[in-house]
Structure 1
Amino acid sequence: MTRATIHVQIPRPCGEAWEAMTPTTQGRHCAACQHTVTDFTQRTDAEILALLRQAAGGRVCGRFRAEQLDRALVHAPAAAPRWRAWVLAAAALWGLLPTAARSQELRSTHSGGPVPAGGGRTADLTEQLPNAAVSGNPDVSSDTTRKMPPGGTMAPLYLQHISGRVIEAHSGETMPGVTVRVAGTTVGVSTNADGYYELDAPVGGTLLFSSIGYTNREQPISAASEGKININMSLNEQALSGIVVTTYVRPWYSPRGLWYSIRSLPRRLTGRW
């Protein structure tokens, strides 16, 4: 069955500031309209659709990011049949059998000696960085292992243990769930319930702070920071609050309707019904 697409719109954004509203369990209470404004900025499309269905056509006041509006919300994917998972697992296992046999053949043929290219054993050269102080700071050290290409050279990398707290700029409240990531890497953590975080990051790098509904922050890492970096984050001004209007867009066809159209085509052409 083809689903109708749902678009969310806020034709008349609320003029009240989100920061001035009273926090509640569902969002914030607006004193001007005496309604609770639900915060949808951190919700997925599937979660938004579920909450709108729970409202059952009633009035909903919500706060959305600009990119969440005026587009089709994506429904949660339907669960795949169990038999399909079994078929995929069997196919993957069948594809691994020749590879395992070839690997065993190479090990038996080249045991104790070099293995030809593409045969499996590769050199894994590593460089263990000694503990070293940076700019007279004994706390800045590194005992991590880094990959070094064969025959190559590597500049020293000094890691610093960084900790701090993320605060909401307007209210002064701590911010849990903020993503803290080292720029250019996949290394990152999230702030805890009290807004604290800690991680190891290279001196000279940059920390990226991001949270849905807030403006991203960047903070360079220097030895002068002494391992403490506290950040204030401000709300993204592009977030809109107001009465939610949902628009249902029916698809131009459905599988059943398309089948009947094709089936009735000869009768339409001949005029015989």
Structure 2
Amino acid sequence: MESRLSRPLKIKCSYMRPLSLKISVPQPCAQSWDSMSPEGAGRFCGNCNKVVVDFTGLSDSQIVEILSDTSSRYCGRFNTTQLDRMLVAEKPAASLLPAVIITALLMTAGGVTTATPTNAIAIDTVQHVTGTVKDNSGNPLPGATVTLKGTAFKALTDSVGNYKLSVPPSLAGKDLILVFAFVGFDIQEMLVNAQYREGHMLKTELTSARTGLTEVVVCEPTRWQKLRHKSKKLWRWK
């Protein structure tokens, strides 16, 4: 059975008994499911910079229950049989708006076999750390590297020194260590509290590295050194 990952996705939900919704994929994304690296409840898409959840093995009720949460944005993988039709939940949701439209990012990969049906899965969303990097004079440092220590997640600062670094779901709610690096400056590490980073713009100031250069002084040889040098030359010619 063919499966599909979508983008951008529109989900129309109607408040009724039972609750139902319809998923459509007007603009598929090019990245394939197989090329993504495993992450949390699904796989991480570098194109969308999000975790893509596999919905292909879920029932209509499970999909409706997950996507009816309008406070979150999701990336997901769907079968073509799950698209462009009404998905009906067996049990109505406890609280929903009369009508909602959820916009999510999804992607497409043709010819993928349907996964074996499983229980409902937990949804992970990628968080971000934002901030700015400057030198000790207050000037922005464009092109500085910001790395999440112990991982491959990194970001570069823009022309005004700002950055946006993705945090994988496995580290959500945990304290992080960020590593800042720029040519000609000392490498700096920063411990970022999990609660503080939400909604805060971090500010980092890098210090110029000491080069360790020493001044070279040319000294005039003494009279004795000159005579000694001449005598060595005479003995060499004999």
- The alignment's TM-score, normalised by the length of structure 1, stands at 0.31
Higher helix share: 1
* Structure in which a larger fraction of residues adopt strand: 2
Q: TM-score w.r.t. structure 2 length? A: 0.35
